[in-house]
Amino acid sequence: MKFLADGMLGKLTRWLRLAGHDVIYLGKSTLPPEKQDEDLLQAAKSGERILLTSDVQLHKRAIKAGLKSVLIRGTDVASQLAEISRRLGVKMEIVPENSRCPLCNGKLDPVERSSIEKLVPENVLKTSNLFWRCTECQKIYWRGRHWEKIIETVKQYRKAVG
């Protein structure tokens, strides 16, 4: 799915990308709040994206303008993902083959071990066999130690979504 996340939802943005969703995050801005809201609504409309926001007023404005919007109330990422699932009827699965780059939203491509040998630490080469590279920012991913944390959050999410 295609989402647009407000500036408060950076962590959620990275998680949704891991789950394979196309998420634009406009981040913190120095523009006045009113102008920021205008920009978000405009971007959601022109990109046909579902707005994700923790701002009740902005959520109401989006709905009034005929946009799709999900109001995010949870404070931890597992419950936030569960809110989106319940509202939109989508299941979140973290499968690296489908993931997008958490940093830039680029698509990930599997890469041969031999082509990245010089680019990752030696201990990683010893313990990992599967690698992916972001087609945009070129960052290389593998299932490292952080993978266990990811699995843990996925478990919490499943509990929360019921």
Q: Binding segment for Zn ion among 37-45, 61-69, 87-95, 136-144 (CB under 5 A)?
A: 136-144
Which of 134, 141, 153, 157 contacts Zn ion by CB under 5 A? Answer: 134
* Rounded CA separation 117/122 (Å): 8
Q: Which of 26, 94, 104, 111 binds Zn ion (CB under 5 A)?
A: 104
CA separation, residue 16 to residues 36, 58, 104 (Å): 22, 21, 12
Range in contact with Zn ion (rule: CB under 5 A) among 33-41, 56-64, 86-94, 98-106: 98-106
Q: Does 106 bind Zn ion (CB under 5 A)?
A: yes
Kindly list the distances between the CA atom of residue 73 and the CA atoms of 46, 52, 80, 134, in Å, as whole numbers in the listed order. 25, 10, 7, 31
Count of residues that interact with Zn ion, criterion CB under 5 A: 7
Residues 6+ positions from 81 with CB-CB distance below 8 Å: 12, 15, 16, 19, 92, 157, 160, 161
Phi, psi of 96, deg, nearest 5: -50, -35
Q: Closest distance between Zn ion and the C-beta of residue 100, in Å?
A: 8
Binding Zn ion (rule: CB under 5 A), the pick from 5, 23, 82, 101 is: 101
Phi, psi values for residue 58, rounded to 5°: -65, -40
Nearest distance from residue 74's CB to Zn ion, in Å? Answer: 26
Is 136 an interacting residue with respect to Zn ion (CB under 5 A)?
yes
Residues that bind Zn ion (CB under 5 A): 101, 103-104, 106, 134, 136-137
